[in-house]
Amino acid sequence: MRHLIPLLLCLLAASPSFAKDQEQLRVVSWNVWGLPWGISDAREARIERIAPAILALKPDLVCLQEVWVEEDGALLAAAFAEAGLTHCVHASDGLLGSGLLIASRYPIKSERFEAFESTGKLHKVWHGDAWARKGALEVRVETPLGGLRVVSTHLHARYGSDEYLSVQLAQAAQLGHFLGDFGINPPPRASDSARIPLLVLGDLNSRRGGAPFELVCGIAALDPPEEESLEIDWLLTRNGGGVQIKVRRIAHALSEDVELGEGLEGPLSDHPALVCDLRLRRGAPKRWSPGQDRIEYQAAAARVRPILTQSRDAAQEGVSRWRNRAFVLMALGALFMFLTHSKRGPKGKGRCCVSCLSFLFLHVAVWAMYLGVVHSGSQAAGSQGALNQLPEIPPAAGR
């Protein structure tokens, strides 16, 4: 009997009821500034050094933004795989792709990517966000405690002003619904198994208290960390029905200058890396307040509706204004073209001048049509689409 007791204890420890109920993991999120065509300095040299620098932090999950070049993604994925992060997804479709990459030590069971419908101004080529396919990349990894949703995302840049605020808000609304609109439609029970724990990491280009930040958190009922040093690169969490997330530590790293070869020195990116130490724990949420989540959503939605409404109205006015100008310009261009080919039209240098005016008016008409139909039209549709995703909730539903 004395010898059976240790055996019984071992069998009990191996049984499902004594299964591991905690998991420690480290997540690194980093905007790596991988702009192509010589826009970002020493990109190739930096990318070669980024994977070893990240791996020195011993992460279990890596979420990267601005991996714009497909070859850079392949290089990083190979380096991660050699170090044990053998599961990797890089959403690289399109001219520049999304720039989003996730590598994991845990098996990836599923993946999905959704591009943002609202974007910036194509004619401002120096504001390159409009030419990228920004969005949200999600993988579901299988941890010892079960499934974990991990999302890497990157919202439109501010470019130093509020010029793109309505675009950011439209993207934030779409992102919130992509994550699950638990701030609007909470699950019926705190322990609902459909509530898979969620990590959201990336460059939101919005500070704490900013309208895009508050809107994402409000729609999706996300919990921001208490760490005050975070600016635009974020970790946001949402507990699961049976697994809770504890943020143990968040710190910035890898912001110092390094040797880049050929006598060059500089930082590996124009952003610091975000290092997050987390603990997953089995158990139902100790605090679950769908009423408070809805109140926070209502406050965020009430704040941004006037901004989106004003943006939509201004864009709709732009559609009408630029379209009318385009018709006038096309009429003038057609008139001058008629005069150019008319027997009674001007001769010699006069005909050459009229021909040039026809060419000028028709080309300006095309530009005006773009501003009216393509640009202003898409801005109006984006703002209206975001408004459609911000339903009013009756006061009784928020209690």
297 part of a folded domain: no
Is there a single domain that holds both residue 122 and residue 53? yes
> Cα–Cα distance between 8 and 80 in angstroms, integer?
41
Is there a single domain that holds both residue 193 and residue 280? yes
Is there a single domain that holds both residue 111 and residue 236? yes
Model pLDDT, residue 369: 84
Parallel, antiparallel or unpaired: strands 257-261 and 264-267: antiparallel
Confidence bin at 67 (pLDDT 50/70/90): very high
Is there a single domain that holds both residue 80 and residue 229? yes
Residues 6+ apart with CB under 8 A from 82: none
pLDDT digits (tens, 9 = 90+) for 244-260: 999 999 999 999 999 99
* Residue 81 in tokens: 């795989």
What total number of domains does the chain contain? 2
pLDDT digits (tens, 9 = 90+) for 132-189: 889 999 999 999 999 999 999 999 999 999 999 999 999 999 999 999 999 998 887 7
Is there a single domain that holds both residue 341 and residue 240? no
Is there a single domain that holds both residue 93 and residue 234? yes
Confidence bin at 48 (pLDDT 50/70/90): very high
Is there a single domain that holds both residue 355 and residue 237? no
Is there a single domain that holds both residue 28 and residue 88? yes
Q: What is the pTM of this model?
A: 0.90
12 part of a folded domain: no
Is there a single domain that holds both residue 363 and residue 281? no
Is there a single domain that holds both residue 62 and residue 162? yes
Is there a single domain that holds both residue 275 and residue 368? no
pLDDT of 32 higher than 90: yes
pLDDT digits (tens, 9 = 90+) for 270-309: 999 999 999 999 987 766 677 888 899 999 999 999 999 9
* Domain extent at residue 204: 20-288
Sign of the four-CA dihedral 348, 350, 356, 362: negative
Q: The domain that contains 25 carries what CATH number?
A: 3.60.10.10
* Residue 139 in tokens: 């993988």
199 part of a folded domain: yes
Is there a single domain that holds both residue 247 and residue 365? no
> Cα–Cα distance between 382 and 244 in angstroms, integer?
35
Tell me the backbone φ, ψ of residue 37, rounded to 5 degrees: 60, 30
Residues 6+ apart with CB under 8 A from 330: 361, 362, 365
